Amino acid sequence: MTPKENYLTMLRGEIPEYIPSMYEERAGRFIEELLTPQYAPNGPIVTSLGVTYVGSAELNGGAMPAPGIILLDDITKWRDIIKAPDLSSFDWESYYRGKIKDIDRTTKYITVGGGDYFLTLVSFMGFENTLLALYEEPEEVKELLEYVSEFYLLVLKQQIRYIKPDVLGLMDDDAAYRAPFFSVPMYQEFFKPYHKLHCDLAQENGMLIERHDCGRCESFIPDWIEIGIRSWNPAQATNDLVSIKKKYTGKLAICGGWDNLKYNDCNDEEELRAALKEYVDTFAPGGGFSYAAMAGGKPDDPDAQKRREIIKSFYFEYAHDWYKTH
């Protein structure tokens, strides 16, 4: 199987030829300027909705809303402040053809992102103001989300038309390390309807769906399954991943699951390799697993470099062919 075929096999709930990994070339990537940026390593980026994002070395260039800038301090005033761009004369075909012209679709799949409705509200209002608005002005929040959704779905429809992507990457971080930011009923009321619109459109066009959600978000999994989500990253170890794996094998792939906090500074090679073996042996059975162990630290830190090399080499030495050897 090509890396593309192998990974999509896993997403479909089948056992792939080998364990997929972040250490293989399987994804054809491009930068989508119309939606929320993932990275901003070279300075501020102002989005189509007017939000300024910045990156930092500590976040490896990951994009975050610029600190101290609040576009919307009163949810009832959103119609005066939040303006989607006029794309009525936009040349979608040229835009997207240029993005993917160098991607080999026979060996690489393409993922398109979006659907970050909670984080979009946070980017407009800040975290605390967003949570207050959900309680104090729920109807205004829903009307703003409906407005944003029209723009986000317009982009997704054009991506589908001109890119014909393989995967939808639904990204919306809505949990802290120990608990979600809001209840399951609130998720079902405010955000699930819009996530479902994206998922419905993706499935109607033959796409598989991944979910990015950090923190302890396991309480939302039944809703994810219901709307068609097939995999979850980074599936952080604060969740009960062993029980989740047992319950959802064949339905929800764990693309992650590595306890980065516990082993991020581990310089004992024997201990690290033992932890990696336990990690693979726990999540590989039955399929639905992508190896995503990693190590933090500064790029020029010799200890961090050694940890990263051990983790990468372990994938090829032990994890890659696990389905052939077990």
Q: Which residues of 224-237 are buried (b: 16+ CB within 10 A; e: fewer)?
A: beebbbbbbbbbbb
3-class SS letters over 241-266? HHHHHHHHCCCCEEECCCCHHHHCCC
pLDDT band at 43 (very low <50, low <70, confident <90, very high): confident
In the 8-state DSSP scheme, what is residue 269?
H
pLDDT band at 296 (very low <50, low <70, confident <90, very high): confident
Asked whether the whole model's pTM tops 0.85, one would answer yes
Domain 3-325 in CATH 3.40.50.300? The answer is no
The answer to whether 28 and 101 are in contact (CB under 8 A) is no
Strand-pair partners of 167: 111, 208
Q: Which range is least confidently modeled, 139-143, 194-198, 202-206, 299-303? A: 299-303
**What does each C-alpha distance from 57 to 1, 29, 42, 238, 298 come to in angstroms?**
37, 22, 10, 25, 9
Instruction: Return the domain boundaries, the chain.
Output: 3-325
Cβ burial of 123 (10 Å; 0-12, 13-18, 19+) is buried
- The tens digit of pLDDT for each residue in 8-41 reads 999 999 999 999 999 999 999 999 999 999 999 8
Handedness of CA 91, 93, 94, 95 (dihedral sign): positive
